Amino acid sequence: MTNTTHKAADPRDAEPVRDGSRLMVFLHVLRKAHRALVGEVKARQRFAKIVTCGEARRYIEEVMPELLREREKRRQQRRRRAHGNRST
């Protein structure tokens, strides 16, 4: 393999994500946040691809950085507003 950062596959990656599992609950929370950023259709299309634990892991790896950037951006905006309100 040319990609030296590729992780060895986890044997559980092929297992299906069980309804009602903690993982499924977490995925639904991520989907809700992702939907707020990209819209219902795009979020639904991406989420529909998740069947196995490996696909869930890839979804988390794909979506989390985007959500964390958005969270930091919103925190910075709140800080700027809070500092701006104090000076008046």
Q: Write out pLDDT tens, residues 24-74.
A: 999 999 999 999 999 999 999 999 999 999 999 999 999 999 999 999 999
Task: Find the farthest-apart pair of alpha carbons in the chain and give their distance in angstroms, rounded.
Answer: 59
pTM score: 0.77
Does residue 87 surpass a pLDDT of 60? no
**Listed residue (45, 18, 20, 52) closest to 31, CA to CA:** 45
Cα–Cα distances in angstroms (integers) from residue 45 to residues 42, 50, 54, in the given order: 5, 10, 17
**62 Cβ contact partners less than 8 Å away, ≥ 6 residues apart:** 46
Q: 84 pLDDT band (50/70/90 cuts)?
A: confident
Q: Spell out the domain ranges in the chain.
A: 15-86
